Each structure stands twice: as structure tokens, then as C-alpha cells.
């Protein structure tokens, strides 16, 4: 039966066209944005997971920046420590030359004094972002952000690596400091005084004066300087180990951030080959649906031929 009031064929064709247009709009959005799931209504569970993981990825980026800052601090301290070792080695060489009886100890001391002043300059210059790891008091510490952790229960935390300072003769700083950060040249590896054998006076590497020393006193000073070199080398190794750990953690955070990005992509990214094929198919279906609707709408016009003379 054909009716001019109700066109069931047109309604069916229109419903089909609406469905095709909806699918086509979703596919076009996926093609233009590159996302299979761009909003919660597309897939609430995957969208929620992807949103959380993107947030964690941003936190990883911040951790990577913090690790870079920490690495710069450690590198600055390591550079100062290496310079201090080189200077103390020069002082050691001057002491050896002073053992020669014909050498003027006053002239040698003038050279040692210049090296001692350079040690102070190196220690005070080894500052990065307001922190100086070469001038510090025992008990103080510095920390470097190392990781961002999300627990199984959803809790988050930031973990850090701590570096504790010691201003003794066998510690890990060149000189000590007071509560306001002002250098104290009577403590630290270079500032802590020691009583020298064959000498009535106590000296540190920084305050050493061989002007009136006998050969025995200079030998004792050599032993003190050698001890300072061992302490400096140990402190340098400690900084090197921390630097290596930061490098490892930096590489890990970078790899982890890439893994998170890849995981999020697998959840929400569109398969462009698939979407391209779907787009072509839907465009063809749309054309056919429009043609079908046009045919259905024209059926009512055919009734007019029944009333022609």
C-alpha cells in the first residue's frame, strides 16, 4: 500500500542516513585529531586511565627536570673537588721541593700561600642555584629528586636521594660553614688542624706554613697533605657515585616516560589505516543512503500519474 501521509521507506532511509552520518562524524573526528578516544563518552574506562597516565607523564617530565638540576649541582661540586685535588697535589710538590736544603723555604711558602688562597676561592665559587656542596657543616644535607611513584592504591609520592655533609678532616667538604652559610676555614678536609710531628704548631692544609720548619716538620706536613688527598679522593668518588646514580635514574625516567606515552597511545590513539578505510566506506554509504532517501521521497510523486487523463 502506498500512502501520501506516511512514507515508511523514507523514514527507514532517513534513519539509516542518520546512523551513517553519526559514524562518519566520529571517524572524521578520529582522522582529524588522531584519537580513537578523545572524550569520556567515547569509552569512559579507557579515557579515565589515559587521563591519569598523562598526568603521571607530566610528573615524570618534572622529575626529569629536577634530576637535571641535581646533576648540575653534583657536577659543580665534582669540578670543584677535582680542582682542589689538583691544587693540593701542587702543594705536595712544593713541600717535596722544600726538602732540598738549598731551597729558600720562604719563597716556597709564598707559592703555597697562593695555592691556599686558590683553594678558598674554589670552595666559595662552587655554588649552583644557591647551594654549595663544598662549604657545609656536619649534619647538613642536600637532596636530589629521583623518582615519582604511584602505588597500587593510587597514592603518589616523590622520592629523593640524600647527600649528608661532614666537615671533618676525613669528611666530604673542603671547608665548614656556620648557620648562615659563611665559610669557616678551620674545619673541613682542608681546614681541620692537625698536630704535626717534629713541630710545635698545629696546621691544616689551608693554614700550613713551612717558613721555619725543619726537614722533619716538612715530612710531617707531607703526611698531612697526603691524608688530605686521600680524603679528597674519597669525597670525589662519593660524588662520582651519586652522579652515576643520577644518570641511571635520568635514563630510567626517560624510558619510563616513553613507555607511559606508548601505553596511553595504545589505549586512545586511532589506527589511521583503519580509520581511512572506514572513512571511504562511510562516505560511499552516505551517498547511497542519500540516493535511497531520494528514491523513497520520489515514490509519492509517482501517485500523480494515476490521476492523469
Write out pLDDT tens, residues 277-301: 887 887 888 888 788 878 777 776 6
Does 153 reside within a domain? yes
β-pairing, 194-195 vs 127-128, is unpaired
pLDDT at 230: 96
Do residues 37 and 51 touch, judged by C-beta distance below 8 A? no
Closest alpha carbon to 163 in 136, 130, 127, 125: 136
User: What is the C-alpha separation between 247 and 232, in angstroms, rounded?
Assistant: 22
Does 28 reside within a domain? no
pLDDT at 217: 86
Q: Judge whether residue 309 has pLDDT over 60.
A: no
Confidence class of residue 248 from pLDDT cuts 50, 70 and 90? confident
Three-state helix/strand/coil letters over the chain: CCCCCCCHHHHHHHHHHHHHHHHHHHHHHHHHHCECCCCCCCCHHHHHHHHHHHHHHHHHHHHHHHHHHHHHHHHHHHHHHHHHHHHHHHHHHHHHHHCCCCCCHHHHHHHHHHHHHHHHHHHHHCEECCEECCECCCCCEEEEEEEEEECCCCCEEEEEEEEECCCCCCCCCCEEECCCCCEECCCCCCCCCEECCCCCCEECCCCCCCCCCCHHHHHHHHHHHHHHHHHHHHHHHHHHHHHHHHHHHHHHHHHHHHHHHHHHHHHHECCHHHHHHHHHHHHHHHHHHHHHHHHHHHCHHHHHHHHCC
Do residues 114 and 79 touch, judged by C-beta distance below 8 A? no
pLDDT at 295: 78
Does 3 reside within a domain? no
pLDDT at 234: 96
Lookup: cell for 237: 668518588
Q: Judge whether residue 119 has pLDDT over 90.
A: yes
Does 226 reside within a domain? yes
User: What is the C-alpha separation between 39 and 223, in angstroms, rounded?
Assistant: 72
CATH code of the domain containing 84: 1.20.1330.10
Number of domains in the chain: 1
Does 123 reside within a domain? yes
pLDDT at 126: 94
Percent of residues, the chain, with pLDDT higher than 90: 36
Do residues 261 and 75 touch, judged by C-beta distance below 8 A? no
Domain that holds residue 96: 44-268
pTM of the prediction?
Answer: 0.75
Does 130 reside within a domain? yes
Q: How many CA atoms lie within 13 A of 47 on its CB side?
A: 10
pLDDT digits (tens, 9 = 90+) for 12-54: 878 888 888 887 777 777 777 778 888 888 788 888 888 888 8
Does 198 reside within a domain? yes
Do residues 139 and 129 touch, judged by C-beta distance below 8 A? no
Does 36 reside within a domain? no
Amino acid at each position: 500500500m502506498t500512502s501520501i501521509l506516511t512514507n515508511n521507506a523514507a523514514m527507514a532511509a532517513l534513519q539509516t542516513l542518520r546512523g551513517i552520518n553519526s559514524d562518519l562524524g566520529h571517524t572524521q573526528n578520529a582522522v582529524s585529531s588522531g584519537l580513537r578516544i578523545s572524550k569520556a563518552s567515547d569509552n569512559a574506562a579507557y579515557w579515565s586511565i589515559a587521563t591519569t597516565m598523562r598526568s603521571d607523564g607530566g610528573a615524570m617530565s618534572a622529575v626529569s627536570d629536577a634530576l637535571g638540576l641535581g646533576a648540575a649541582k653534583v657536577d659543580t661540586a665534582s669540578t670543584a673537588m677535582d680542582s682542589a685535588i689538583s691544587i693540593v697535589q701542587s702543594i705536595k710538590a712544593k713541600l717535596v721541593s722544600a726538602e732540598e736544603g738549598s731551597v729558600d723555604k720562604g719563597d716556597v711558602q709564598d707559592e703555597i700561600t697562593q695555592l691556599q688562597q686558590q683553594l678558598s676561592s674554589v670552595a666559595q665559587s662552587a655554588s649552583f642555584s644557591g647551594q654549595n656542596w663544598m662549604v657545609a657543616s656536619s649534619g647538613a644535607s642536600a637532596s636530589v629528586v629521583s623518582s615519582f611513584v604511584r602505588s597500587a592504591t593510587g597514592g603518589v609520592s616523590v622520592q629523593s636521594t640524600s647527600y649528608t655533609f661532614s666537615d671533618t678532616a676525613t669528611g666530604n667538604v673542603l671547608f665548614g660553614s656556620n648557620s648562615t652559610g659563611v665559610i669557616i676555614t678551620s674545619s673541613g678536609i682542608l681546614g681541620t688542624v692537625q698536630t704535626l710531628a717534629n713541630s710545635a704548631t698545629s696546621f691544616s692544609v689551608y693554614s700550613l706554613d713551612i717558613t721555619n720548619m725543619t726537614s722533619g716538620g716538612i715530612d710531617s706536613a707531607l703526611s698531612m697533605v697526603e691524608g688530605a688527598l686521600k680524603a679528597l679522593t674519597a669525597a670525589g668518588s662519593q660524588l662520582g657515585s651519586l652522579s652515576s646514580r643520577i644518570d641511571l635514574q635520568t635514563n630510567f625516567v626517560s624510558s619510563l616516560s616513553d613507555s607511559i606515552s606508548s601505553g596511553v597511545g595504545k589505549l586512545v590513539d586511532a589506527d589511521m589505516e583503519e580509520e581511512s578505510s572506514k572513512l571511504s566506506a562511510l562516505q560511499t554509504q552516505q551517498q547511497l543512503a542519500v540516493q535511497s532517501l531520494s528514491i523513497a521521497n520520489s515514490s509519492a510523486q509517482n501517485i500523480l500519474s494515476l490521476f492523469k487523463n
